[in-house]
A and B are shown apart, each in its own frame.
Chain A
């Protein structure tokens, strides 16, 4: 991944920056130019709170080449307490059989991948059980 592409996602990946529609209150993560609910084009920046729960999950045992050394790893759809959902790895799970829908999680800052060619480490959020 070229550095510019990585760099422009930093506000979302490092700080969970989202956009809130000034008319209907829809929260867009990542920020968008057009509100999918009411088509308004005005947003104000907000920062999401980092706690939520698992809506659904899976344990990936066959991954793309980039992640193949990390398998098996858990990944889930997380609903944050402000109702917004995102996809994140669920880190630090010792026993995958004990993972459950509804479990509470917190988003933490972690390394996500490495880029072999450009040599940059890429960071972002992962969920951990609380």
Chain B
């Protein structure tokens, strides 16, 4: 396997991009990434998108985007793994370059969620249609059930959940591409309109449009282009039961535990070696559970850690310096790539006001559904 590096990144602002189509935003992000990398052509591309068929009635996104990006006839593949589509798109590009099949690959992700679809229903297709969704469950509902179980088992409080949202908004306010660039307070989170008990609106990531893309290549090409190489030192993926009720524990995400185990082994690292981590905080409880399942905190301690500021910039392990899904926005298929972009900026020392001092090793954890799939990458900055 060859060493694989990221040499370019581009994304649109995340938010309600009513003036632009799904093609517009993907091409905008892809062109920025190609320009940032300084490459003349790409050999292949992946487009991560969760459910463009339901959101905008357009599937076959590989070919659609290659056409509008003006790169036909290169191979172009649409990758779907629910909200982990972007992370899996990156993993496919990584594998393609590592194997020697291609030298320069674009890994992208996109979602257009504000063009009129029933978003709740479209997102719910990532759960078990016959035995969860049929009964009337929603995604906030599934994660809310994880939250209630976590509160009962470990004494996690609504205030601790709220601390996650407050911290992520504080970080997102410093991210020019974030959907919400405003601070919020614990009281605002606690008093927000209820969505699915115990979640109020501010415990939930928003409905967003957005696209993100990175250029993946070999160490040799990066050196020729005189790029500081941000090396992919682990790429791991795992799956779990589609239905939340089929798991032995409601408060542990098996796919996260298993993907993390593989990723740490591949990189030869342990949790304390990670300088910053982007996690899939689709709901506040998700960040807490994932921060435990990645090994940053003991099981049941994630809520307290968030409340104490251990996950803030300057804390023990800065989590979601980008603002996370909560504040940066969550155009589902683009999220996994946007996480890689945050690591790319941090490890290049170009994250501006939200820069983690001396950041050298970053992790991105992206998951689909209520955790039925998880993909984890670890990136290392060059010296």
Contacts and interface: CB of A to CB of B under 8 A. Distances in A.
A43 interface: no
A75 B134 contact: no
A86 B241 CA distance: 13
A124 B147 CA distance: 26
Contacts of A95: none
B144 interface: yes
A96 interface: yes
Q: Could you say which interface size class chain A belongs to?
A: 20 to 34
B121 interface: yes
A114 to B, nearest CB: 12
Given A73-B136, A75-B145, A101-B152, 14 more contacts: A59-B197, A60-B138, A62-B120, A66-B136, A75-B135, A76-B145, A77-B244, A78-B245, A85-B245, A87-B135, A87-B245, A88-B135, A89-B135, A96-B197
Contact of A77 (B134, B145, B197): B145
A55 B196 contact: no
Interface residues of B, number: 33
A63 B148 CA distance: 19
Contacts of B196: 58-62
22 contacts: A12-B131, A55-B149, A55-B245, A56-B152, A58-B144, A58-B148, A59-B194, A61-B193, A61-B196, A62-B120, A62-B195, A63-B120, A64-B138, A65-B120, A65-B121, A67-B136, A73-B136, A75-B145, A77-B245, A87-B131, A112-B134, A113-B134
Interface of A: 9, 12, 30, 36, 55-67, 70, 73, 75-78, 85-89, 96, 101, 112-113, 122, 124
A64 B131 contact: no
B250 A77 contact: yes
Interface centre among A55, A58, A124 (most CB of B within 10 A): A58
B361 to A, nearest CB: 35
A30 B130 contact: yes
A85 B243 CA distance: 10
B137 A75 contact: yes
Contact of A66 (B121, B197, B245, B250): B121
A60 B137 contact: yes
Contact of A56 (B121, B124, B145, B243): B145
B118 to A, nearest CB: 5
A65 B197 CA distance: 19
Contacts of A73: 136
A124 B133 CA distance: 13
Contacts of B244: 77, 87
A112 B198 CA distance: 24
B21 to A, nearest CB: 24
